[in-house]
Protein backbone atom coordinates (compact mmCIF):
# COMPACT_ATOMS: atom_id res chain seq x y z
CA UNK A 1 0.00 0.00 0.00
CA UNK A 2 1.47 3.32 -1.02
CA UNK A 3 0.65 6.62 0.53
CA UNK A 4 1.44 9.94 -1.02
CA UNK A 5 0.25 13.43 -1.71
CA UNK A 6 -2.29 13.40 -4.47
CA UNK A 7 -1.21 16.75 -5.74
CA UNK A 8 2.31 15.65 -6.60
CA UNK A 9 2.52 14.77 -10.26
CA UNK A 10 4.44 11.59 -9.51
CA UNK A 11 1.67 10.39 -7.23
CA UNK A 12 -0.94 11.05 -9.90
CA UNK A 13 0.82 8.71 -12.27
CA UNK A 14 1.09 5.98 -9.69
CA UNK A 15 -2.44 6.13 -8.40
CA UNK A 16 -4.99 3.98 -10.08
CA UNK A 17 -7.64 4.18 -7.45
CA UNK A 18 -7.60 6.56 -4.56
CA UNK A 19 -9.88 6.09 -1.61
CA UNK A 20 -10.91 8.75 0.85
CA UNK A 21 -13.18 8.15 3.74
CA UNK A 22 -15.42 11.16 3.90
CA UNK A 23 -18.92 11.25 5.28
CA UNK A 24 -21.52 12.45 2.84
CA UNK A 25 -22.33 16.10 3.66
CA UNK A 26 -25.94 15.15 4.34
CA UNK A 27 -24.86 12.71 7.03
CA UNK A 28 -22.40 14.92 8.81
CA UNK A 29 -24.32 17.38 10.89
CA UNK A 30 -21.41 19.78 11.09
CA UNK A 31 -21.73 20.38 7.34
CA UNK A 32 -24.66 22.75 7.27
CA UNK A 33 -23.98 24.05 3.80
CA UNK A 34 -24.95 21.98 0.85
CA UNK A 35 -24.33 23.20 -2.68
CA UNK A 36 -26.56 21.72 -5.30
CA UNK A 37 -25.50 22.08 -8.91
CA UNK A 38 -28.55 24.21 -9.64
CA UNK A 39 -27.43 26.82 -7.10
CA UNK A 40 -26.10 29.87 -8.82
CA UNK A 41 -23.41 32.11 -7.49
CA UNK A 42 -21.60 32.91 -4.38
CA UNK A 43 -18.52 35.09 -4.26
CA UNK A 44 -15.48 33.74 -6.06
CA UNK A 45 -12.12 33.23 -4.37
CA UNK A 46 -11.21 31.95 -0.93
CA UNK A 47 -11.44 33.55 2.52
CA UNK A 48 -8.15 35.02 3.80
CA UNK A 49 -5.89 32.55 5.52
CA UNK A 50 -7.78 29.44 4.43
CA UNK A 51 -5.57 26.40 4.03
CA UNK A 52 -6.71 23.53 1.90
CA UNK A 53 -6.44 20.14 3.65
CA UNK A 54 -3.65 17.89 2.44
CA UNK A 55 -4.91 14.72 0.85
CA UNK A 56 -3.53 11.25 1.24
CA UNK A 57 -4.37 8.45 -1.11
CA UNK A 58 -4.42 4.71 -0.89
CA UNK A 59 -4.07 2.46 -3.90
CA UNK A 60 -6.60 -0.32 -4.27
CA UNK A 61 -7.23 -2.85 -7.04
CA UNK A 62 -9.95 -1.50 -9.29
CA UNK A 63 -12.04 -4.64 -8.80
CA UNK A 64 -12.32 -3.96 -5.04
CA UNK A 65 -15.85 -3.54 -3.75
CA UNK A 66 -15.17 -3.76 -0.01
CA UNK A 67 -15.34 -0.07 0.84
CA UNK A 68 -16.96 1.96 3.53
CA UNK A 69 -20.24 2.80 1.70
CA UNK A 70 -19.64 6.50 2.50
CA UNK A 71 -16.03 6.61 1.27
CA UNK A 72 -15.40 8.30 -2.09
CA UNK A 73 -13.20 6.58 -4.63
CA UNK A 74 -11.52 7.66 -7.84
CA UNK A 75 -11.80 4.75 -10.18
CA UNK A 76 -11.83 3.98 -13.87
CA UNK A 77 -14.52 1.39 -14.36
CA UNK A 78 -12.78 -1.32 -16.41
CA UNK A 79 -14.23 -2.12 -19.82
CA UNK A 80 -16.18 1.12 -19.64
CA UNK A 81 -13.36 3.68 -19.57
CA UNK A 82 -15.23 6.31 -17.63
CA UNK A 83 -13.37 8.18 -14.90
CA UNK A 84 -15.53 8.05 -11.79
CA UNK A 85 -15.64 9.77 -8.43
CA UNK A 86 -18.02 7.49 -6.65
CA UNK A 87 -19.04 6.40 -3.16
CA UNK A 88 -18.33 2.86 -2.02
CA UNK A 89 -22.08 2.31 -1.95
CA UNK A 90 -22.58 3.40 -5.56
CA UNK A 91 -19.54 1.48 -6.82
CA UNK A 92 -21.10 -1.66 -5.39
CA UNK A 93 -24.49 -0.77 -6.92
CA UNK A 94 -22.84 -0.47 -10.34
CA UNK A 95 -21.03 -3.81 -10.11
CA UNK A 96 -24.09 -5.54 -8.65
CA UNK A 97 -26.24 -4.44 -11.61
CA UNK A 98 -27.16 -7.58 -13.50
CA UNK A 99 -25.60 -7.75 -16.99
CA UNK A 100 -23.10 -4.92 -16.17
CA UNK A 101 -21.11 -4.06 -18.26
CA UNK A 102 -22.98 -4.91 -21.46
CA UNK A 103 -21.94 -2.99 -24.56
CA UNK A 104 -23.80 0.16 -25.59
CA UNK A 105 -26.38 -0.47 -28.32
CA UNK A 106 -25.68 0.40 -31.96
CA UNK A 107 -27.81 3.27 -33.32
CA UNK A 108 -30.91 2.23 -35.27
CA UNK A 109 -29.96 1.99 -38.98
CA UNK A 110 -26.47 3.41 -38.38
CA UNK A 111 -25.06 6.73 -37.25
CA UNK A 112 -27.30 9.64 -38.23
CA UNK A 113 -25.87 12.70 -36.51
CA UNK A 114 -23.06 15.20 -36.69
CA UNK A 115 -21.82 17.85 -34.27
CA UNK A 116 -22.04 21.30 -35.85
CA UNK A 117 -22.50 25.03 -35.32
CA UNK A 118 -25.82 25.94 -33.68
CA UNK A 119 -25.65 29.74 -33.83
CA UNK A 120 -25.68 31.57 -30.51
CA UNK A 121 -25.89 28.23 -28.68
CA UNK A 122 -22.39 27.25 -29.80
CA UNK A 123 -22.16 23.66 -31.01
CA UNK A 124 -25.10 21.29 -31.24
CA UNK A 125 -26.09 17.87 -32.56
CA UNK A 126 -27.79 17.64 -35.99
CA UNK A 127 -29.45 14.83 -37.96
CA UNK A 128 -27.67 13.80 -41.17
CA UNK A 129 -30.78 12.01 -42.53
CA UNK A 130 -34.39 11.38 -41.59
CA UNK A 131 -34.53 9.81 -38.13
CA UNK A 132 -37.77 7.99 -37.30
CA UNK A 133 -39.65 8.30 -34.01
CA UNK A 134 -38.32 5.60 -31.69
CA UNK A 135 -34.92 5.33 -33.40
CA UNK A 136 -31.91 5.15 -31.10
CA UNK A 137 -29.70 8.08 -32.12
CA UNK A 138 -26.73 7.39 -29.86
CA UNK A 139 -25.82 5.22 -26.87
CA UNK A 140 -22.70 6.78 -25.34
CA UNK A 141 -20.53 6.07 -22.31
CA UNK A 142 -19.55 9.20 -20.42
CA UNK A 143 -16.09 10.69 -19.95
CA UNK A 144 -16.74 11.48 -16.28
CA UNK A 145 -19.18 10.33 -13.60
CA UNK A 146 -19.36 12.18 -10.26
CA UNK A 147 -21.76 13.37 -7.54
CA UNK A 148 -24.16 16.09 -8.72
CA UNK A 149 -23.26 18.31 -5.78
CA UNK A 150 -20.28 18.89 -3.52
CA UNK A 151 -20.16 15.30 -2.19
CA UNK A 152 -16.74 13.73 -2.55
CA UNK A 153 -14.89 16.99 -1.89
CA UNK A 154 -12.68 17.11 1.15
CA UNK A 155 -13.67 20.02 3.30
CA UNK A 156 -11.86 20.29 6.62
CA UNK A 157 -14.48 19.22 9.20
CA UNK A 158 -13.42 22.08 11.50
CA UNK A 159 -14.52 24.72 8.98
CA UNK A 160 -18.24 24.78 9.85
CA UNK A 161 -17.39 25.58 13.47
CA UNK A 162 -14.87 28.27 12.56
CA UNK A 163 -15.33 32.03 12.33
CA UNK A 164 -16.27 31.86 8.65
CA UNK A 165 -19.53 33.35 7.47
CA UNK A 166 -21.97 31.31 5.41
CA UNK A 167 -20.73 32.98 2.21
CA UNK A 168 -17.12 32.17 3.11
CA UNK A 169 -18.06 28.60 3.95
CA UNK A 170 -19.60 28.30 0.48
CA UNK A 171 -16.40 29.67 -1.04
CA UNK A 172 -14.43 26.94 0.72
CA UNK A 173 -16.82 24.23 -0.49
CA UNK A 174 -16.66 25.52 -4.06
CA UNK A 175 -12.88 25.56 -3.93
CA UNK A 176 -12.63 22.03 -2.54
CA UNK A 177 -15.25 20.70 -4.96
CA UNK A 178 -13.27 22.10 -7.87
CA UNK A 179 -10.11 20.53 -6.45
CA UNK A 180 -11.76 17.11 -6.17
CA UNK A 181 -13.17 17.30 -9.72
CA UNK A 182 -9.81 18.50 -11.08
CA UNK A 183 -8.31 15.23 -9.80
CA UNK A 184 -10.97 13.38 -11.78
CA UNK A 185 -10.24 15.50 -14.86
CA UNK A 186 -6.46 14.93 -14.56
CA UNK A 187 -7.02 11.19 -14.82
CA UNK A 188 -8.76 11.51 -18.23
CA UNK A 189 -6.87 10.65 -21.43
CA UNK A 190 -5.64 13.83 -23.18
CA UNK A 191 -8.20 13.45 -25.98
CA UNK A 192 -11.04 13.51 -23.42
CA UNK A 193 -9.47 16.39 -21.49
CA UNK A 194 -9.52 18.40 -24.71
CA UNK A 195 -13.14 17.44 -25.51
CA UNK A 196 -14.16 18.24 -21.92
CA UNK A 197 -12.59 21.71 -21.95
CA UNK A 198 -14.22 22.49 -25.31
CA UNK A 199 -17.67 22.09 -23.74
CA UNK A 200 -19.59 25.23 -22.81
CA UNK A 201 -19.22 26.70 -19.31
CA UNK A 202 -22.09 28.90 -18.19
CA UNK A 203 -20.71 29.18 -14.64
CA UNK A 204 -17.69 31.37 -15.28
CA UNK A 205 -18.79 34.16 -12.97
CA UNK A 206 -20.37 32.47 -9.99
CA UNK A 207 -17.34 31.06 -8.24
CA UNK A 208 -17.48 27.62 -9.89
CA UNK A 209 -14.10 26.51 -11.19
CA UNK A 210 -13.57 25.59 -14.82
CA UNK A 211 -14.14 21.85 -14.23
CA UNK A 212 -17.16 22.13 -11.93
CA UNK A 213 -18.59 24.85 -14.20
CA UNK A 214 -18.50 22.48 -17.15
CA UNK A 215 -20.00 19.60 -15.16
CA UNK A 216 -22.81 21.90 -14.00
CA UNK A 217 -23.44 23.14 -17.54
CA UNK A 218 -23.24 19.79 -19.35
CA UNK A 219 -23.93 17.07 -16.79
CA UNK A 220 -26.68 14.52 -17.40
CA UNK A 221 -28.37 12.92 -14.40
CA UNK A 222 -27.69 9.21 -13.89
CA UNK A 223 -31.09 8.20 -12.57
CA UNK A 224 -31.06 5.13 -10.34
CA UNK A 225 -27.61 5.62 -8.83
CA UNK A 226 -27.43 7.58 -5.58
CA UNK A 227 -25.45 7.61 -2.35
CA UNK A 228 -26.58 5.49 0.58
CA UNK A 229 -29.63 6.71 2.52
CA UNK A 230 -30.07 9.89 0.50
CA UNK A 231 -33.24 11.39 -0.94
CA UNK A 232 -34.18 14.34 -3.16
CA UNK A 233 -31.31 16.41 -4.52
CA UNK A 234 -28.75 14.86 -2.18
CA UNK A 235 -26.74 11.87 -3.31
CA UNK A 236 -27.50 12.15 -7.04
CA UNK A 237 -24.90 11.53 -9.77
CA UNK A 238 -24.14 13.28 -13.02
CA UNK A 239 -22.09 12.38 -16.09
CA UNK A 240 -20.47 14.31 -18.91
CA UNK A 241 -20.41 12.78 -22.40
CA UNK A 242 -18.33 13.78 -25.40
CA UNK A 243 -21.20 14.00 -27.91
CA UNK A 244 -24.44 13.82 -25.90
CA UNK A 245 -23.34 16.77 -23.75
CA UNK A 246 -23.41 18.80 -27.00
CA UNK A 247 -27.17 18.37 -27.35
CA UNK A 248 -28.92 21.69 -26.76
CA UNK A 249 -32.14 22.38 -24.94
CA UNK A 250 -35.58 22.85 -26.46
CA UNK A 251 -38.93 23.60 -24.80
CA UNK A 252 -40.43 21.20 -27.39
CA UNK A 253 -37.64 18.62 -27.73
CA UNK A 254 -37.51 15.97 -30.44
CA UNK A 255 -35.45 13.52 -28.39
CA UNK A 256 -35.48 11.81 -25.03
CA UNK A 257 -32.52 10.51 -23.02
CA UNK A 258 -32.15 7.86 -20.34
CA UNK A 259 -29.30 6.52 -18.21
CA UNK A 260 -28.50 2.80 -18.21
CA UNK A 261 -26.29 1.38 -15.50
CA UNK A 262 -25.98 -2.08 -17.11
CA UNK A 263 -24.18 -0.54 -20.12
CA UNK A 264 -22.96 2.49 -18.12
CA UNK A 265 -24.22 4.75 -20.86
CA UNK A 266 -26.73 7.40 -21.88
CA UNK A 267 -29.19 6.56 -24.66
CA UNK A 268 -30.84 9.23 -26.80
CA UNK A 269 -33.96 8.34 -28.78
CA UNK A 270 -36.09 10.34 -31.24
CA UNK A 271 -39.61 10.95 -29.86
CA UNK A 272 -40.95 12.08 -33.23
CA UNK A 273 -39.68 11.96 -36.81
CA UNK A 274 -36.65 14.24 -37.20
CA UNK A 275 -36.05 15.43 -40.79
CA UNK A 276 -32.49 15.55 -42.19
CA UNK A 277 -30.32 18.53 -41.11
CA UNK A 278 -32.44 19.30 -38.08
CA UNK A 279 -31.04 20.08 -34.65
CA UNK A 280 -31.54 17.23 -32.18
CA UNK A 281 -32.74 18.59 -28.83
CA UNK A 282 -33.62 17.41 -25.34
CA UNK A 283 -35.35 19.24 -22.46
CA UNK A 284 -33.18 20.65 -19.64
CA UNK A 285 -36.30 21.50 -17.61
CA UNK A 286 -39.89 20.36 -17.17
CA UNK A 287 -41.51 21.50 -20.37
CA UNK A 288 -45.11 21.78 -19.13
CA UNK A 289 -44.22 24.96 -17.24
CA UNK A 290 -44.83 28.56 -18.23
CA UNK A 291 -42.13 30.51 -20.06
CA UNK A 292 -41.19 32.44 -16.90
CA UNK A 293 -40.95 29.25 -14.83
CA UNK A 294 -38.83 27.58 -17.51
CA UNK A 295 -36.54 30.62 -17.65
CA UNK A 296 -35.70 30.13 -13.96
CA UNK A 297 -34.62 26.52 -14.54
CA UNK A 298 -32.69 27.34 -17.71
CA UNK A 299 -30.59 30.13 -16.21
CA UNK A 300 -27.96 27.82 -14.64
CA UNK A 301 -27.38 26.38 -18.14
CA UNK A 302 -26.49 29.84 -19.43
CA UNK A 303 -29.83 30.20 -21.28
CA UNK A 304 -30.87 33.77 -20.46
CA UNK A 305 -33.57 34.04 -23.12
CA UNK A 306 -34.70 30.77 -24.70
CA UNK A 307 -35.10 31.03 -28.47
CA UNK A 308 -35.57 27.31 -29.15
CA UNK A 309 -38.63 27.76 -31.38
CA UNK A 310 -41.16 30.30 -32.67
CA UNK A 311 -43.12 29.62 -29.46
CA UNK A 312 -40.29 30.96 -27.32
CA UNK A 313 -39.49 33.92 -29.60
CA UNK A 314 -42.97 35.29 -30.42
CA UNK A 315 -44.78 36.73 -27.33
CA UNK A 316 -48.25 36.03 -28.77
CA UNK A 317 -47.43 32.37 -29.47
CA UNK A 318 -45.73 32.10 -26.10
CA UNK A 319 -48.93 33.22 -24.37
CA UNK A 320 -51.01 30.57 -26.17
CA UNK A 321 -48.38 27.96 -25.40
CA UNK A 322 -48.25 28.92 -21.70
CA UNK A 323 -52.02 28.51 -21.41
CA UNK A 324 -51.80 25.07 -23.01
CA UNK A 325 -48.83 23.96 -20.90
CA UNK A 326 -50.64 24.90 -17.67
CA UNK A 327 -53.80 23.11 -18.82
CA UNK A 328 -51.92 19.91 -19.78
CA UNK A 329 -49.86 19.99 -16.60
CA UNK A 330 -52.80 20.45 -14.27
CA UNK A 331 -55.30 18.23 -16.03
CA UNK A 332 -53.42 14.98 -16.31
CA UNK A 333 -55.43 13.07 -13.71
CA UNK A 334 -58.66 13.32 -15.71
CA UNK A 335 -56.97 11.29 -18.45
CA UNK A 336 -56.29 8.13 -16.52
CA UNK A 337 -58.11 5.46 -18.55
CA UNK A 338 -61.10 4.26 -16.61
CA UNK A 339 -63.84 1.83 -17.53
CA UNK A 340 -66.38 4.25 -15.98
CA UNK A 341 -65.82 6.73 -18.79
CA UNK A 342 -66.63 4.05 -21.35
CA UNK A 343 -70.07 3.07 -20.01
CA UNK A 344 -73.11 3.17 -22.27
CA UNK A 345 -74.17 6.73 -23.22
CA UNK A 346 -77.46 8.33 -22.22
CA UNK A 347 -79.88 9.04 -25.07
CA UNK A 348 -78.54 11.87 -27.26
CA UNK A 349 -74.94 11.41 -26.09
CA UNK A 350 -72.19 10.32 -28.45
CA UNK A 351 -70.56 6.99 -27.65
CA UNK A 352 -67.10 8.50 -27.63
CA UNK A 353 -68.19 11.58 -25.63
CA UNK A 354 -65.42 10.99 -23.05
CA UNK A 355 -62.76 11.30 -25.72
CA UNK A 356 -63.20 14.94 -26.74
CA UNK A 357 -60.70 16.44 -24.31
CA UNK A 358 -58.12 13.79 -25.12
CA UNK A 359 -58.58 14.20 -28.89
CA UNK A 360 -58.04 17.97 -28.53
CA UNK A 361 -55.04 17.44 -26.27
CA UNK A 362 -53.33 15.05 -28.67
CA UNK A 363 -53.85 17.50 -31.52
CA UNK A 364 -52.61 20.52 -29.53
CA UNK A 365 -49.65 18.66 -28.06
CA UNK A 366 -48.58 17.58 -31.53
CA UNK A 367 -48.78 21.22 -32.67
CA UNK A 368 -46.59 22.20 -29.71
CA UNK A 369 -44.18 19.27 -30.05
CA UNK A 370 -44.85 17.73 -26.61
CA UNK A 371 -44.55 14.07 -27.64
CA UNK A 372 -41.94 13.56 -24.93
CA UNK A 373 -44.43 14.24 -22.11
CA UNK A 374 -46.26 11.56 -20.16
CA UNK A 375 -49.42 13.65 -20.69
CA UNK A 376 -49.21 13.09 -24.47
CA UNK A 377 -48.62 9.38 -23.99
CA UNK A 378 -51.51 9.21 -21.50
CA UNK A 379 -53.96 10.93 -23.85
CA UNK A 380 -53.06 8.79 -26.87
CA UNK A 381 -53.08 5.62 -24.76
CA UNK A 382 -56.51 6.40 -23.38
CA UNK A 383 -57.93 7.07 -26.86
CA UNK A 384 -56.50 3.86 -28.32
CA UNK A 385 -58.06 1.83 -25.51
CA UNK A 386 -61.36 3.72 -25.59
CA UNK A 387 -61.81 3.10 -29.32
CA UNK A 388 -60.87 -0.55 -28.82
CA UNK A 389 -63.63 -0.73 -26.20
CA UNK A 390 -66.05 0.93 -28.63
CA UNK A 391 -65.06 -1.71 -31.26
CA UNK A 392 -63.71 1.03 -33.58
CA UNK A 393 -60.60 -0.80 -34.78
CA UNK A 394 -59.53 1.90 -37.24
CA UNK A 395 -59.46 4.71 -34.66
CA UNK A 396 -57.89 2.44 -32.02
CA UNK A 397 -55.02 1.74 -34.42
CA UNK A 398 -54.77 5.42 -35.39
CA UNK A 399 -53.93 6.37 -31.79
CA UNK A 400 -51.92 3.23 -31.00
CA UNK A 401 -49.63 3.93 -33.96
CA UNK A 402 -48.91 7.43 -32.66
CA UNK A 403 -47.40 5.65 -29.65
CA UNK A 404 -45.35 3.12 -31.60
CA UNK A 405 -42.14 5.21 -31.79
CA UNK A 406 -42.64 6.77 -28.38
CA UNK A 407 -42.89 3.34 -26.78
CA UNK A 408 -39.53 2.49 -28.34
CA UNK A 409 -38.06 5.81 -27.19
CA UNK A 410 -39.12 5.02 -23.61
CA UNK A 411 -38.08 1.38 -23.94
CA UNK A 412 -41.50 0.11 -22.97
CA UNK A 413 -41.52 -3.66 -23.00
CA UNK A 414 -45.17 -4.19 -23.90
CA UNK A 415 -46.20 -1.80 -26.67
CA UNK A 416 -49.86 -1.33 -27.47
CA UNK A 417 -51.57 -3.26 -30.28
CA UNK A 418 -50.37 -2.42 -33.79
CA UNK A 419 -52.49 -4.78 -35.92
CA UNK A 420 -56.23 -5.35 -36.36
CA UNK A 421 -55.89 -8.82 -34.83
CA UNK A 422 -54.07 -7.41 -31.83
CA UNK A 423 -56.78 -4.78 -31.26
CA UNK A 424 -59.43 -7.49 -31.37
CA UNK A 425 -57.68 -9.64 -28.83
CA UNK A 426 -56.95 -6.69 -26.49
CA UNK A 427 -58.54 -6.50 -23.05
CA UNK A 428 -60.56 -3.36 -23.80
CA UNK A 429 -61.92 -4.72 -27.10
CA UNK A 430 -63.03 -7.90 -25.34
CA UNK A 431 -64.60 -5.96 -22.47
CA UNK A 432 -66.43 -3.73 -24.96
CA UNK A 433 -67.99 -6.68 -26.81
CA UNK A 434 -70.67 -7.21 -24.23
CA UNK A 435 -71.29 -3.55 -23.38
CA UNK A 436 -74.91 -3.35 -24.60
ZN1 LIG B 1 -37.57 27.48 -25.43
Quote the pLDDT of residue 12.
32
Using the mean position of ligand 1's atoms as its centre, give its distance from the Cα of residue 322 in Å. Answer: 11
Q: Is the pLDDT of residue 344 over 70?
A: no
- Ligand 1 centre distance from Cα of residue 303 (Å): 9
Query: What pLDDT score was predicted for residue 28?
Result: 36
Query: How high is the mean pLDDT of the chain?
Result: 83
Give the range among 2-11, 296-305, 383-392 with minimum mean pLDDT: 2-11
At residue 249, the pLDDT reads 94
The better pLDDT of the pair 168, 271 is held by 271
Q: How remote is the CA of residue 363 from the centroid of ligand 1, in Å?
A: 20
Which of 415 and 290 is assigned the larger pLDDT? 290
431 alpha carbon – ligand 1 mean position (Å)? 43
* Ligand 1 geometric centre to CA of 294 (Å): 8
In the reported structure, the alpha carbon of residue 307 is separated from the centroid of ligand 1 by a whole-number distance in angstroms of 5
pLDDT number for residue 207: 74
Residue 334 confidence (pLDDT) above 80: no
pLDDT bucket at 160, cuts 50 / 70 / 90:
low
Residue bearing the bigger pLDDT, 355 or 420: 420
- How many Å lie between the centroid of ligand 1 and the Cα of residue 316? 14
**Distance from the alpha carbon of residue 1 to the mean position of ligand 1, in angstroms:** 53
The whole-number pLDDT of residue 168 equals 80
Higher pLDDT, 300 or 159: 300
| pLDDT for 409 | 95
pLDDT at 394 over 60: yes
Ligand 1 center to 369 CA (angstroms): 12
pLDDT at position 413, please? 80
CA 359 to centroid of ligand 1, rounded, Å = 25
Per-residue pLDDT for 131 more than 60?
yes
Q: Which range among 10-24, 187-201, 202-216, 387-401 shows the weakest confidence by mean pLDDT?
A: 10-24
Greater model confidence, 250 or 170? 250
Residue 300 CA, ligand 1 centroid: distance in Å = 14
Q: What digits encode the pLDDT tens for the residues 240-294?
A: 999 999 999 999 999 999 999 999 999 999 999 999 999 999 999 999 999 999 9
Q: Answer yes or no: is pLDDT of 100 > 60.
A: yes
Average pLDDT of 328-338?
Answer: 63
pLDDT at 296 over 60: yes
For residue 251, how far is its CA from the centre of ligand 1 (angstroms)?
4
* C-alpha–C-alpha distance, residues 294 and 286, integer Å: 7
pLDDT at 125: 97
pLDDT digits (tens, 9 = 90+) for 31-84: 333 445 445 445 667 777 787 877 766 677 777 788 888 888 888 876 678 999
Q: Calculate how far, in angstroms, residue 250's C-alpha sits from the geometric centre of ligand 1.
A: 5
Q: Does the pLDDT value for residue 87 go beyond 80?
A: yes
**CA of 240 relative to ligand 1 center, distance in Å:** 23
Tell me how far the alpha carbon of residue 312 lies from the centroid of ligand 1, in angstroms.
Answer: 5
- Does residue 196 register a pLDDT over 90? yes
- Find the 253 Cα to ligand 1 centroid distance in Å: 9
Distance 318 CA to ligand 1 centre (A): 9
Cα(258) to ligand 1 centroid in Å equals: 21
Residue 248 Cα to ligand 1 middle (Å): 10
Q: Ligand 1 centroid to 216 CA: how many Å?
A: 19
pLDDT above 60 (res 156) = yes
309 CA to centre of ligand 1 in angstroms: 6
Tell how far the Cα of 293 is from the centroid of ligand 1, in angstroms: 11
The alpha carbon of 212 and the centre of ligand 1 are apart by a number of angstroms equal to 25
Q: What is the pLDDT of residue 4?
A: 30
CA of 360 from ligand 1 middle (Å) equals 23
Residues of the chain above pLDDT 70, percent: 83
Distance 249 CA to ligand 1 centre (A): 7
Which pLDDT band holds residue 339 (cuts at 50, 70, 90)?
low
Predicted confidence (pLDDT) per residue in 7-42, tens digit: 333 333 223 344 444 444 434 333 333 445 445 445
Query: What is the CA(70)–ligand 1 centre distance, in A?
Result: 39
Amino acid sequence: MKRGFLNSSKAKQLIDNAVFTQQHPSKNRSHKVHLDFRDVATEPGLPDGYESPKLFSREVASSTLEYDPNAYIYTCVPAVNTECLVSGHVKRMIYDTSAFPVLPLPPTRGKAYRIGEAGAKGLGMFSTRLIRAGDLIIDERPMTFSPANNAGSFVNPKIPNSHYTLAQHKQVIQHETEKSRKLLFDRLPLEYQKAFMELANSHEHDGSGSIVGRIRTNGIECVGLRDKDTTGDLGRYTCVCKDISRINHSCCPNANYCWHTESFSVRVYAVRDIPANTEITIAYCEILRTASERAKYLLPYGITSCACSATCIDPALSKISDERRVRFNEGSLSLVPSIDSFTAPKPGEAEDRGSHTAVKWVQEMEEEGFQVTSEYRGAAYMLANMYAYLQDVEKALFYAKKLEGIHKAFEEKTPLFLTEEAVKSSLFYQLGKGRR
